[in-house]
Amino acid sequence: MPGPRRRSILISRLADRPVGSPQGVILDELRRCILDGEVPPGSPIPVDGVAAAFGVSRIPVREALMTLIGEGLVDHRPNGGYRVAMMTAREFAEFYLVREALETAALKAAVALAGPDDDDRARAAHAALDRAVSEGDARAHHRESRRFHLALIGPCRMRRLLRMLDAAWNMTEPLQPMAHLGEDERHRLHSDHAQMLAAFIARDEPRLIAVFADHHHRLQSFIDALPRDTGLFAEPG
């Protein structure tokens, strides 16, 4: 006799949500769960369960999922339902190349336009990241690392580029790469952040870009070394 069905990871994260939530709230909550790494890549997304959690029909849930499919965060397969999108290791590496190119362009513009208020925001973001590293909180490290990078590129005034970078970054978030690195690896990456902050405040563009390139390549090498048989990545088609 089969045992009781296990509750979906996603549904457990959606407990106690307001009944009758509008489609925009459903979309935001589903996106947040995926981007925060609460629901790993490949996790099923039961439409009926999500609808019940929000006290709505299937229609607004499907509309939200269609938006997330367009953002690359959700996959749908005929007769297979919806799931959090998975990438092959090769696809993941391609998105990191895109991120590197866009962030490099943003950093070059930002360091030329930044002012004292931008320095303060970058320092505050680095302090929050430093706390996450000191506490050994891998998920907080991942979250605060992104906020620190965004603080450095924020002054670039390139809205379209930032939107493209945000979209590319979001597509790599479900994997939560920082959360799968060892403590020594995270500390090495954090050392890069301190050097990036110093170069940003000094308005030393060549130094900032050089440190960022080393940082990005170091992170990519760590990710390349992650095991391929743990379900983190999709199997090549």
Q: What's the average model confidence in pLDDT over 94-120?
A: 97
pLDDT of residue 79: 83
Architecture per CATH, domain 89-224, reads as Up-down Bundle (1.20)
Choose between 19 and 195: higher pLDDT. Answer: 195
Give the pLDDT band of residue 9 (cuts 50, 70, 90).
confident
pLDDT of residue 1: 38
Within 10 Å of residue 3's Cβ, how many Cβ atoms?
5
pLDDT of residue 3: 40
| Rounded alpha-carbon distances, angstroms, from residue 219 to 60, 188, 208, 212 | 38, 9, 16, 10
Give the pLDDT band of residue 7 (cuts 50, 70, 90).
low
Where do the CATH 1.10.10.10 domains begin and end in the chain? 10-84
pLDDT at 212 over 90: yes
Pick the CATH number of 10-84 from 1.20.120.1690, 1.10.10.10, 1.20.1050.10, 3.30.70.260: 1.10.10.10
Q: What's the average model confidence in pLDDT over 38-55?
A: 91
Range in 19-23, 115-119, 169-173, 208-212 with the lowest mean pLDDT: 19-23
Name the residue among 152, 147, 161, 143 with its Cα closest to residue 113: 152
pLDDT tens-digit series, residues 140-163 = 998 999 999 999 999 999 999 999
Give the pLDDT band of residue 237 (cuts 50, 70, 90).
low
Give the pLDDT band of residue 78 (cuts 50, 70, 90).
confident
Q: What's the average model confidence in pLDDT over 207-222?
A: 94
Tokens of residue 6, six digits: 């296990």
Q: What is the pTM of this model?
A: 0.87
pLDDT of residue 123: 99
Where do the CATH 1.20.120.530 domains begin and end in the chain? 89-224
Calculate the average pLDDT of the chain. 90
- What single string gives the DSSP state of each residue in the chain? ---PPPPPHHHHHTTTPPTT--HHHHHHHHHHHHHTTSS-TT-EE-HHHHHHHHT--HHHHHHHHHHHHHTTSEEEETTTEEEE----HHHHHHHHHHHHHHHHHHHHHHHHH--HHHHHHHHHHHHHHHHHHHTT-HHHHHHHHHHHHHHHHGGG--HHHHHHHHHHHHHHGGG-GGGGS-HHHHHHHHHHHHHHHHHHHTT-HHHHHHHHHHHHHHHHHHHHTS-SSSSSSPPP-
pLDDT of residue 146: 95
